[in-house]
Amino acid sequence: MTSRPDLDRLQRRIGYQFRDPERLLLALTHRSHGNHNNERLEFLGDSIVNMVIAEYLFQHFEKAREGQLSRLRARMVKGVTLAEIGREFELGNYLRLGSGELKSGGYRRESILADAVESIIGAIYLDSDFETCRAQVLRWFEHRLKGLNLQDTQKDPKTRLQEYLQSRQFPLPKYDVISVEGEAHAQTFHVSCALPSLDRTTTGVGSSRRIAEQQAARNALKALGVEEH
């Protein structure tokens, strides 16, 4: 969180020593810190991690269909997973943030941590080559990738609810935020899922609106008897 963090410890944590440490410093610089920031590196890193994970899944799940592969990849490269990796590296201690983001706890924010992980991947690629970068990505994701199986390819609750309603020509559900509790860096969202044509409304709670909506949709599927409690 300092303006010029000590990068030696971080490089040991991520398992890569930069030939040009300025690339790592840039990867840790959020746009709130100034115009010279990690947004372009994030763009590059996002493309690389998607490619590396897609290649791994293609090679390790030979019987998986395209849709199953897509859902497995989405599970791996989503912001929640990337932010978890960022926390494992304690990236929050090294981010360069503007004063506003610092005051609001931006060093703990999921989206900022996820973006920084992708930026570091982009920086490693520029500092080395694709093979080196691929090895790093696979090492970071190793235990998550090994835990995957085709049972993880079931569609998310919101998609399942939407498809159930559409197959019966019912209107789509309406999601609304009921309330938001907590500080900006640790909020809890309460969301409703209304099914007017079926006279049902369920609720969900989560650390983001997306998570709360998924829970509300899952509860709706249970209330409709589509899925077991």
Domains of the chain: 8-153 (1.10.1520.10), 157-223 (3.30.160.20)
Instruction: Say what the pLDDT of residue 187 is.
Output: 83
Q: Which of 6, 8, 22, 46 is catalytic?
A: 46
Asked which of 4-8, 45-49, 59-63, 94-98 is least confident by mean pLDDT, the reply is 4-8
- What average pLDDT score do residues 49-64 get? 95
Instruction: Say what the pLDDT of residue 126 is.
Output: 98
Q: What gap in Å lies between CA 76 and CA 53, rounded to an integer? A: 8
* 46 catalytic per annotation: yes
| Max avg pLDDT among 3-12, 34-43, 80-89 | 34-43
Distance of CA 105 to the CA centre of its chain: 18
Check if the beta carbon of residue 28 is closer than 8 Å to that of residue 116.
yes
Among residues 53, 179, 64, the alpha carbon closest in space to that of 117 is found at 53
Check if the beta carbon of residue 140 is closer than 8 Å to that of residue 85.
yes
Distance of CA 179 to the CA centre of its chain: 23
* 199 catalytic per annotation: no
Q: What gap in Å lies between CA 209 and CA 110, rounded to an integer? A: 13
- DSSP per-residue letters across 146-190: HT--GGGGSPPHHHHHHHHHHHTTPPPPEEEEEEEES-TTS-EEE
CA distances from 18 to 60, 77, 90 (A): 30, 24, 18
Burial label, 209 (beta-carbon count in 10 A; 0-12, 13-18, 19+): middle
Q: Which of 101, 118, 127, 213 is catalytic?
A: 118
Check if the beta carbon of residue 105 is closer than 8 Å to that of residue 185.
yes
**Per residue in 66-115, pLDDT tens?**
988 988 898 899 888 899 999 999 999 999 999 888 888 878 888 999 99
Q: Residue 186 pLDDT more than 80?
A: no
**Per residue in 125-166, pLDDT tens?**
999 999 999 999 999 999 899 888 876 556 788 988 998 899
Residues of each annotated binding site for Mg(2+) = 42, 115, 118
